[in-house]
Chains A and B, each alone.
Chain A
Amino acid sequence: MFLGCAIPYRVSSYELSARKIAAKLGIELVEMPDYNCCGLPLDPASHDVMLTLAARNLCQAEKLGLNVITLCPGCAGTLRKVNKLLKEDKHERERVNGFLKEAGLEYKGTIEVKHLMQVLAEDVGLERIKEAVKKPLSNLSVAEHMGCHIVRPQKHIGFDDPENPEILKSLIEATGARCLDYMDEAECCGAPVAGINDRIPLALTRDKLSHMKAVNAQAVITVCPFCHMMFDTNQMRIERMFNETYGMPVLHYPQLLGLAMGFTPEELALKELRVDASKVVALV
């Protein structure tokens, strides 16, 4: 289990609920010892630093002989992309191994990296998820928001269809809830530029919220800590800024699945959400 930075820093409700559903589905999570940032935040500063930081994490997982699972699409996308590059491109592998030698490490290319959602869809499978559902959420209609780095660029990531993402939808529908289509569904939330410009990401997220509201979504389901912060943590700020009311609960996918599995809202850390989710709980 590769936790990354944002989840232990601010979004522990995602981790808590993910561990609950993983245990129920028989996924045994082994903590990744001595990991570092996946490298993505420093890609704009230095591509070589990004490659080296990502490769160091891959080396640590290789030492354990285990595949990597992440909860953050940024980490998943970066580690998958670098893993693929270093497996396929001998020149880059030698170059990055040249850096890694400084810390006595060598990348070999023996493991795979997957986001939680990918493990659920490919390794656990929809059937087993459906079997684990004790309380189908058939009264609930929600909107999904995927997170860019888990699907794009398609040629480097190779998961789902970025233009018409289906996998999160099918996972949501496995809980019995309805997943609604809405305008500009596959669009970015803007979170990565938040440190540079405040207004643009808020305007983008507000645009998505208004499209979700237009189709009467009762909640938004995310699989990314950054997207979650944009929709949940920043929602009141957006409401103030644009003088609008959304009150749209934002659940991590494992919280939604956890509710359907029969976990209590307390066990899934629903009270840690900024936007009150009791409307959703009432419909379970």
Chain B
Amino acid sequence: MTAEKEENKTTEAKPALKISEINLQFKNEVKKIPGGERMMLCFQCGTCTADCPIARFSETYRPRQLLRMAQLGLKDKVLSSDQLWLCAACYTCVDHCPQDVEISSVIRALKNIAVREGYMPSALKELGGAIMETGLAYKIPELRLKKRSEAGLPPLPKADVESIAKLINRTGFGKLLEKGGSS
């Protein structure tokens, strides 16, 4: 009796997938991005999650779940998930996957699609803006540059930001940066 009750509870907590949420083309979208090609070969063994240092310290981050959601075509759910952004890209899962699925690269491909769809964390947007403006990921304060010369370090080379911006725009990312992201 108790077992039955428990079972009902689980069913209530996790409703079945709605077919209307499933996007059958999504897997092809992911497979087109380098690194995402082998996503469908994941057989859900969970090695990635067991070995993931982030998952050890997070109640919610489970790379295996992200992979399964993407395989099933739950596009909106996976792209809008905060969990996507917790991958540290330490590549432990890439080295350990028995199916040679580059888990971290699949997650990176999912992030790339998420950014295209308008989900870009503000931290990422800041990095992109700084690179566009200065060529480097951080705007280096004048004081630092002064300290460099005082310490006898060679001056920091000046980047040709015009050519860098041209390249960033050529890849199509410049537009996404202008559009900005959520959160």
Question: Taking beta carbons and an 8 Å cutoff, which residues of A are in contact with B?
Answer: 3-6, 8-10, 12, 15-16, 19, 31-37, 41-49, 52-53, 56, 92, 99-100, 102-104, 148-149, 152-154, 162-163, 184, 187-188, 190-193, 195-197, 199-201, 203-204, 207, 269
Contact = CB atoms under 8 A, between A and B. Distances in A.
B115 A44 contact: yes
A41 B159 CA distance: 17
A184 to B, nearest CB: 8
A146 to B, nearest CB: 11
B24 interface: no
A145 B11 CA distance: 45
Contacts of A5: 136-138
A190 B167 contact: no
Contact of A204 (B57, B115, B172, B176): B57
Interface of B: 33-35, 53-54, 56-58, 85-92, 94-95, 102, 104, 108-109, 111-112, 115, 120-121, 123-124, 127-128, 131, 135-138, 140, 144, 147-148, 151, 153-154, 156-160, 163-164, 166-173, 176
Contact of A269 (B94, B151, B170): B151
Contacts of B160: 34
B163 A103 contact: yes
Contacts of A53: 131, 164, 167-168
Contact of A152 (B92, B127, B147, B154): B92
A196 B123 contact: yes
A148 B140 contact: no
Contacts of A269: 151
A10 B115 CA distance: 28
A199 to B, nearest CB: 8
A99 B171 contact: yes
B171 A48 contact: yes
A58 to B, nearest CB: 13
Contacts of A207: 57
A44 B124 contact: yes
A153 B95 CA distance: 6
Contact of A42 (B95, B131, B151, B153): B131
